Structures are given as structure tokens and as C-alpha cells.
Amino acid sequence: MEQKEQIEPLLATVHALLRADGADDAADVVRDYPAMAELSGQDNWNGGTQYWDIVFRVPTLDYVRLGAKRSLLEEQITAGLKAVTEHEPFDYYSAAIVLDKEFRADWRSGTSELPKRVRQNILDGLRLDDVKWYGRLNDVEFLSRLYELEKLPTTDHRYKDAAGDIWQHRLNNDDWENDWVYNDSRFQLVDGGAELFLRFLCEMVHPLVRPDRDEALNLVVQLNDQLKGAGWELYEEELIAGRPRFAFRTIENNSARSVVRAKAVAEALNAGWMAKQIERLEHAIDSDPELAIGTAKELVETCCKSILTKCEITFTKSDDLGDLTKKVAKALKLVPEGVSDAAKGAENIRLILRNLTSITSNLAQLRGLYGTGHGKDGQHRGLQPRHARLAVASAVAFIDFVSETHRYREESQNFEQAD
């Protein structure tokens, strides 16, 4: 039997057939999970028949989510295979959905877990801000996207499953608190696997649940502030109707920390355009280093313009990044000459400040060489994500310092005026 390259046309045809027949869940299995053909038996009678299993390997969480539906899905896919291959008398196909074995070198260390303390802090934060976890859906609609409510036990003897008692107490009587699900043992948000909790968070900011893009993004920032300490983050995986759909992953580098800090700067300066650049930066560091480098330069430029505007200092369209940096340095008294010779380590402070302000010119040159915005010849070779992370970290170091200094100057002036 052919392997992946040869069975792809078979799978594609089965997928189309299932879609046309309305078996969308079975079609999704065919499309979404890797498949292999395995010889399961052979009958030499009447010319010989080979029996093949088309095996779909499904990750743990999806395997559990499919639950009892797996048998039905296997039957539907098998029927599709028979319909497509009925002209092949010596090959018989059936579908099997199996659990994909997972292995992490650190699986015994517990590093893939999410501590109960972090989960509780997140849930407490949602309570304090009165965040409606179900968004524009109702409780049953939301939880049905993650759990098979008909398979979960009821807490009310009048109903046969979780779907019934949730409907009764949340939609009919409305006598459960909004945060009831957080500590309901059936849903294991506090004591279950990390992936289950993270899937719940991702669903909270799904476009169908929370269609307001800004509301979803702000909530993701808050959640990531708590998750980062445990080595996890939510990230934009794809767009649905122009709105981000989030997934979760472990944090494997320090770029996430830089991005979080940049978001704090944008919030402090109330700079909406900076927030858009940071969002683009976050998703480009690994997938598009050149875009990340170009955006890092634009981030510094926007930060400078925001501070100059707040300081009521004029700038023109002809001012380049170097001009803007000099104006900010002068307005905030960042120039090395402002450090007294009598101060301990004065020369070291001068050098640090010079290097800090030179970051901007180096970013501008790096963008010209490797970033977006300029044409390249046929021999051009781009930089790697580690270079993008360096550029981003440098940009964030600059905007972090100047924004903190700006805030310090403002607070000092307000204090003097109060006196």
C-alpha cells in the first residue's frame, strides 16, 4: 500500500465526500490529523484481498474531547473510504482513530504543568474584574465547545446530565453565581491538567465568545501577565473574520518578556498605535524576523513622537529617527552632559546613556539592511529569529527607559507644583 504521498488523493476525496454528505466532524478528522495506512490482514482466497487500516493519530486533548463520538466518526470515515475505493476489489479499507503517543524529555519534572497558585490568581482576577467567562454565549453553549456535557454527571437529581442542571440553575432559575464553574469539580479547572485550563482561557477570548477585538486583546494581556511566570502564554494562531483566535504554548525565549514590557509602556503612554505595532511585533519575531526588525524601529519612532507630543515639543515629517531621539534626550535631560563629574561612576553612566541613544540609529541601519521597507537583490539572505529578538529587546530597553524617565519628570513637576 502507498504511504502518505499516495494516500493523500484518497483522503482528499473522502474529505470532500464527507463534507458533501454533511458529516462535518468526520471530515474534520480526515483533514486535521496525520494518517498512515497500515496493513492489518490478508486473505488469499479469490485472488487475494488486503485489509488496510487508515490510522488517524489524535493528540490527547482532542482524543478525550471526541469521547464516545470516536466510534461514529470511524464508521463514517470507513463508509467514505468504501465509497471512494469500491472499484478496487483487492483492497479493503477501514478507519481507526487512535491516541497519538506524546513524549517530552521533561515529562517527569512537572515543568509542563501550571501551578494551582497561578490558576487561582487568574480566576481571582477574573472575579475581581467581574469578567463574564462565557462572553456573549450562555454557559451551556460555552462549555459545550470544550466538554461533552451529556457525559458529565448532574448535581441536580431532576436532570440526567450536566447540561440539564446547568440550564436549570443558570438560565432558568439563575440561582448560581457567575463564577460557579471555576470550582466545579466536573470541569477540573483548578486541579486538572494544564492544557484543560489553558483551553478554557483560549475559549474565553475566542471571536465567537468575545467578538470585541480590543476587549479580547486586553484580556489576553492580563492573562499572559499571570501565565508568563509559569512558562506559558496565549498567542494569536490565526484570524477569524479579522479577529484573532488564540492558542497556548510554552515560552521558550525572552522575547515574550520584552513584548509584555512593551505593552506596559504603550499603556502608560496611552499610545494606541504603539499597541498595534507591539501586536504585530509579537507575532513576527519567530515567523517573520525582517518584519519584527522593521517594526522594532517603528516602535521606537512612535514612542519618541508620543513623548514629544506630551511634552508639547514640535517635530516635523522630515525629522528622522535620529532627530526624534535627540529631541527626546534633550527634553528628558538624558544627555550624558547632565551627569555630574562628582557622581560616582559618572563616566560609566555617560557611556550607558550614549549607547542607549545609539540603539535607535543602529536599528534604523539594521532595518535598512535586513528589515522590511526596502527591496532586496536575488542573493539577499535574511536574519534569523535570534537577531530579531536582539533588535526587539534593544528597542524595548530604549522605550522602557525613556517612558520611565518621562513619568518620573511628570511626577516631579506635579510634586513641585503641589508645593
Name the residue ranges covered by the structural domains of the chain. 4-99, 116-229, 279-373+382-418
Place of cell 486535521: 32
Name the region of 343 (left: φ>0; alpha: ψ -120 to 50; beta: rest). beta
- Architecture per CATH, domain 4-99, reads as 2-Layer Sandwich (3.30)
How many other CB atoms are found less than 10 A from the CB of residue 42?
A: 9
So what's the pLDDT on residue 373?
47
pLDDT in tens, the chain (419 residues): 444 447 888 999 999 999 999 999 899 899 888 888 888 777 766 556 788 899 998 877 678 777 778 889 999 999 999 999 887 777 888 999 998 876 554 455 444 578 888 899 999 999 999 999 999 999 999 999 999 998 899 888 888 999 999 999 999 888 899 999 999 989 989 888 888 999 999 999 999 999 998 899 889 989 988 888 788 889 888 888 888 899 988 775 445 555 655 666 666 666 555 666 666 666 666 667 777 777 778 888 888 888 898 888 999 888 887 788 888 888 887 655 555 555 555 566 556 656 665 665 676 566 566 544 444 444 445 566 777 777 777 777 787 788 888 887 777 776 566 55
The C-alpha cell at 381 is 539572505
Alpha-carbon dihedral sign for residues 51, 56, 61, 66: negative
How far apart are alpha carbons 82 and 78 in whole angstroms? 6
So what's the pLDDT on residue 407?
80
The C-alpha cell at 346 is 559618572
How far apart are alpha carbons 317 and 167 in whole angstroms? 59
The C-alpha cell at 362 is 543602529
Burial class (CB in 10 A: 0-12, 13-18, 19+), 398: buried
* Beta carbons of 284 and 395 less than 8 angstroms apart: no
Report which DSSP code applies to 90.
T
What residues form DSSP beta bridges with 240? 243
So what's the pLDDT on residue 347?
62
The C-alpha cell at 9 is 488523493
Cα end-to-end span (Å), the chain: 87
So what's the pLDDT on residue 279?
65
Task: Give me the torsion for CA of 144, 149, 150, 155, rounded to 10°.
Answer: -150
What's the Cα-to-Cα distance from 185 to each of 63, 162, 165, 189, rounded to whole Å? Answer: 21, 12, 14, 8
Distance of CA 400 to the CA centre of its chain: 24
So what's the pLDDT on residue 229?
75
What's the Cα-to-Cα distance from 263 to each of 217, 222, 299, rounded to whole Å? Answer: 11, 11, 11
Burial class (CB in 10 A: 0-12, 13-18, 19+), 238: exposed
The whole-model pTM stands at: 0.43
Residue among 264, 312, 340, 266 nearest 410 (CA): 312
